[in-house]
């Protein structure tokens, strides 16, 4: 049997490549496992998402009831739905942690620019997954949060109204929005993500793990190579450990904080108190609150959206902005620390209802 496959597939070469593959081993190696954990959560999303697709009905009349049916009548449906919801949040959290760890380790440097750009795009896609998926259960909080979230796009000059209509499939959040979000969530985003993820993983394997500049410089000073460990079994077992930690976290959260369904959305009811987006959008939500109505005659919300768009653009183009000098690396590190501090402060303020 083995010979049959070996004759038709490059199994021997693959086996040799895996046997000879090594991974740098240093005091920052632990951050290498975050990418694997993000991938694990994504795979969980794919599997649980496919299972949910079997019963979910994407219409305003049936969406809530179908999720309730999944949670009450489908065997282990409650578990699948709870894991899907928690895994979505953990995936975004792991993706953010992965992004910042790569940024602090300066792993975006030449020749890994495309790995970085594809990674940032994957983070944006996971936020898109979160935004579109949030509405799908068609519950009260999701409905009004989506209304607020899509409203923000209206601040864009000239095209704002068109963008809002494009997002919602009409002037307001309705069943048309739900169908649209569903299509994007289960078809458009997965297709783009699969392609980008394939490219990202291929390039990671091709270039290998990046060694942080400090480790490289130290090895150079001491005139010795950077220590490595075999991919199999040393790194693979550690990666498996990371995946299992992620699984334990998922099971623990689903056990002690089961994801609730809330009340069915009523488009004609007034918005209940405490409407807020998912935690990873909270900082933007809070930052927009602090913007004055107008700054030098320009709409405050527009300035905030412009600033965030510029920030996102800078993040994508970071490998080209950082000239890889000690000074520019320090600036990037402090800018990232400031960004994390700003996002954390805004999120905490939003959670505590502070002003």
Partner 1 sequence: MTGAWRIGSVAIACGLLAGSITLRAAGAPGPQAPAPAVKPAAEAFSDDVHAKAGLTCESCHGPKKADGGYAAIARVAIAPLCARCHADAAYMRKFAPQVRVDQYAQYQTSVHGQQMAKGETRVATCNDCHQSHGIVPVRDTRSPVAPAHVAITCARCHADPARMAPFNRSPEIFNEWSKSVHADALLKRGDRSAPTCSTCHGSHGATPPGADSVANVCAQCHVREAELFKKSRKAEVFAALGQADCLVCHSNHHIAPPQASWIGLDDKALCATCHDESVAGAAVIKSVRKGFDEVLAAIASAGQVLDRAETAGMLVEDGKLALHTASEAHVRMRVLVHTFTAPPFDDVVKEGLAAAGEAQAVGDAAMDELQYRRRGLAVATLVILGFLATLYIKIRRLPKVA
Contacts to partner 1 by CB under 8 A: 25, 67-69, 71-73, 78-79, 81, 227-230, 233-234, 237-238, 240-241, 244-245, 247-248, 251-252, 254-256, 258-263
Distance in Å, CB of 270 to partner 1, minimum: 13
Nearest-angstrom CA–CA distance, 327 and 347: 30
Closer of 223 and 325 to partner 1 (Cβ): 223
Distance in Å, CB of 242 to partner 1, minimum: 10
> How many of the other CB atoms lie within 10 Å of CB of 115?
22
List beta partners, residue 228. Answer: 24
Rg over alpha carbons for the chain, rounded to the nearest Å, is 23
Nearest-angstrom CA–CA distance, 115 and 197: 10
Distance in Å, CB of 21 to partner 1, minimum: 13
Distance in Å, CB of 248 to partner 1, minimum: 4
Distance in Å, CB of 24 to partner 1, minimum: 11
Closer of 71 and 204 to partner 1 (Cβ): 71
Closer of 85 and 347 to partner 1 (Cβ): 85
Distance in Å, CB of 244 to partner 1, minimum: 5
CA dihedral 326, 104, 23, 225 (to 10 degrees): 20
Closer of 111 and 233 to partner 1 (Cβ): 233
Distance in Å, CB of 318 to partner 1, minimum: 32
Closer of 140 and 301 to partner 1 (Cβ): 140
Closer of 175 and 258 to partner 1 (Cβ): 258
On the 0-12 / 13-18 / 19+ scale of CB atoms within 10 A, 116 is: buried
> How many of the other CB atoms lie within 10 Å of CB of 39?
21
Distance in Å, CB of 197 to partner 1, minimum: 25
Closer of 198 and 227 to partner 1 (Cβ): 227
Length in residues, the chain: 355
CA angle (26 as vertex; 21, 30 as ends), nearest 5: 85
Tokens standing for residue 325: 């000098």
Tokens standing for residue 47: 């599997």
Closer of 222 and 326 to partner 1 (Cβ): 222
Could you give the residue ranges of the DSSP H alpha helices within the chain?
2-8, 11-20, 33-53, 63-72, 77-104, 113-135, 140-152, 160-168, 175-183, 189-207, 213-221, 236-256, 282-290, 300-316, 318-321, 326-352
């Amino acid at each position: 049997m083995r010979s049959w496959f070996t004759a038709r597939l490059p199994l021997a070469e693959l086996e040799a490549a895996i046997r000879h593959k090594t991974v740098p081993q240093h005091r920052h190696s632990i951050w290498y496992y975050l990418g694997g954990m993000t991938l694990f959560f994504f795979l969980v999303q794919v599997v649980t998402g496919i299972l949910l697709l079997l019963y979910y009905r994407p219409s305003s009349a049936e969406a809530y009831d179908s999720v309730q049916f999944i949670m009450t009548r489908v065997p282990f449906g409650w578990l699948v739905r709870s894991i899907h919801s928690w895994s979505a949040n953990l995936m975004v959290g792991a993706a953010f942690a992965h992004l910042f760890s790569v940024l602090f380790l300066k792993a975006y440097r030449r020749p890994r620019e495309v790995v970085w750009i594809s990674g940032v795009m994957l983070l944006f896609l996971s936020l898109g997954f979160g935004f579109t998926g949030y509405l799908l259960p068609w519950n009260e909080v999701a409905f009004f949060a989506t209304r607020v979230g899509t409203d923000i796009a209206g601040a864009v000059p000239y095209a704002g109204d068109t963008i809002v209509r494009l997002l919602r499939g009409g002037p307001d959040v309705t069943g048309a929005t739900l169908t649209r979000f569903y299509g994007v969530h289960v078809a458009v985003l997965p297709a783009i993500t699969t392609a980008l993820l394939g490219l990202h993983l291929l390039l990671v394997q091709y270039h290998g793990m990046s060694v942080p500049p400090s480790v490289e410089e130290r090895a150079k000073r001491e005139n010795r190579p950077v220590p490595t460990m075999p991919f199999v079994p040393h790194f693979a077992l550690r990666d498996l450990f990371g995946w299992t930690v992620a699984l334990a976290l998922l099971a623990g959260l689903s056990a002690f904080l089961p994801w609730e369904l809330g009340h069915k959305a009523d488009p004609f009811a007034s918005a209940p108190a405490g409407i807020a987006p998912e935690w990873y959008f909270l900082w933007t939500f809070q930052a927009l609150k602090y913007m004055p109505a107008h700054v030098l005659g320009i709409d405050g919300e527009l300035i905030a959206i412009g600033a965030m768009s510029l920030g996102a653009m800078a993040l994508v183009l970071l490998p080209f902005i950082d000239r890889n000098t000690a000074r520019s690396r320090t600036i990037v590190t402090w800018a990232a620390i400031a960004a994390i501090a700003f996002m954390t402060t805004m999120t905490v303020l939003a959670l505590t209802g502070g002003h």
